[in-house]
């Protein structure tokens, strides 16, 4: 797949800058994991442009404080909180059943990173794959009708450059035969998140839904609690405002209207790479993460698990 365009933004651009002047009045957005880090900044940028934003969070009490802060900071009273634990299928199903009306922006942002020991989640699957991918897959599937009613809805899958550490190993997704490797498991889950966007684009573009995935960049957040903190060299790190920029760009910028099934970083489409870069800050997406056969195979596998 060739790169189709370049944007006027770069790795230093912020979330507010990439949608400056965009009017999101009347648009409804859901941001998972929006009670800390990049998720909060994503919600802030969308609310500041007039969107109705639902913070879909595991701990609503913490979310309510974030929502209050965002209402005050943006002057937008339409910032809501709803309970959602993407590691729990019952919670996902309750959330999607309760949603009413159209949905214009779904941002699958929540996630976990590199628990040191092998843990199992949804239907006995490895915890990172279960939380980062399966929970969001079930959420996305459950909100399909609402997205189709959204008249040009955007689906945004927050992946990571970590996908470069592993494809989806279909013969042993859950580390039942190979030794558990926290980084490989994280990489696999992040590849799966890209493939979700690829297949959603293929299946749902006829419904007016555009789906893309992204790497937000190296941002110090609670995500790295199992890794001893962010280890990326200082010159290659981003602030949360910069880290949320690519997400917000894909969610709301008119520059990517109708552009889907792709992977972005630094607010631009990432080039294909055929080996993992050895230097920090080098952009790239692995071919296996955009492969349509992998995307279709994973979608069918996940459908059997969550239905």
User: Which residues are known to be catalytic?
Assistant: 186
Distance CA 125, CA 16 (A): 37
The answer to whether the beta carbons of residues 60 and 137 sit under 8 Å apart is no
* Residue carrying the six token digits 């998972």: 32
CB neighbour burial string for 88-107, b if at least 16 within 10 angstroms, e if fewer: bbebbebbbeebeebbbbbb
Q: Token digits for 63?
A: 């979310």
Q: Is 162 exposed, middle or buried (0-12, 13-18, 19+ CB in 10 A)?
A: buried
The answer to whether the beta carbons of residues 295 and 198 sit under 8 Å apart is yes
Distance CA 62, CA 36 (A): 9
């Amino acid at each position: 797949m060739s790169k189709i365009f370049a944007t006027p933004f770069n790795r230093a651009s912020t979330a507010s800058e990439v949608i400056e002047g965009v009017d999101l009045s009347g648009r409804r957005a859901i941001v998972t994991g929006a009670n800390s880090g990049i998720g909060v900044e994503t919600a802030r940028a969308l609310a500041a442009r007039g969107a109705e934003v639902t913070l879909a969070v595991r701990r609503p009490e913490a979310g309510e404080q974030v929502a209050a802060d965002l209402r005050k900071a943006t002057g937008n009273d339409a910032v809501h909180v709803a309970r959602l634990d993407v590691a729990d299928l019952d919670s996902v199903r309750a959330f999607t059943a309760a949603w009413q009306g159209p949905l214009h922006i779904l941002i699958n942002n929540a996630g976990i990173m590199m628990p040191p020991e092998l843990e199992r989640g949804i239907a006995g699957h490895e915890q990172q794959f279960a939380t980062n991918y399966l929970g969001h897959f079930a959420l996305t599937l459950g909100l399909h009708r609402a997205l189709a009613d959204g008249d040009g809805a955007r689906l945004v899958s927050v992946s990571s450059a970590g996908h470069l550490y592993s494809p989806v190993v279909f013969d042993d997704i859950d580390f039942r035969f190979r030794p558990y490797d926290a980084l490989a498991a994280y990489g696999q889950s992040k590849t799966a998140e890209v493939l979700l966007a690829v297949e959603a684009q293929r299946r749902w573009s006829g419904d007016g839904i555009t789906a893309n995935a992204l790497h937000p960049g190296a941002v110090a957040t609670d995500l790295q609690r199992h890794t001893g903190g962010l280890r990326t060299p200082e010159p290659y790190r981003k602030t949360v405002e910069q880290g949320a920029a690519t997400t917000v760009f894909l969610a709301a910028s008119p520059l990517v209207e109708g552009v889907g099934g792709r992977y972005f970083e630094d607010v631009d489409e990432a080039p294909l790479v055929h080996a993992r870069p050895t230097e920090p800050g080098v952009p790239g997406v692995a071919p296996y993460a955009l492969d349509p056969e992998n995307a279709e195979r994973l979608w069918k596998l996940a459908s059997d698990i969550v239905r």
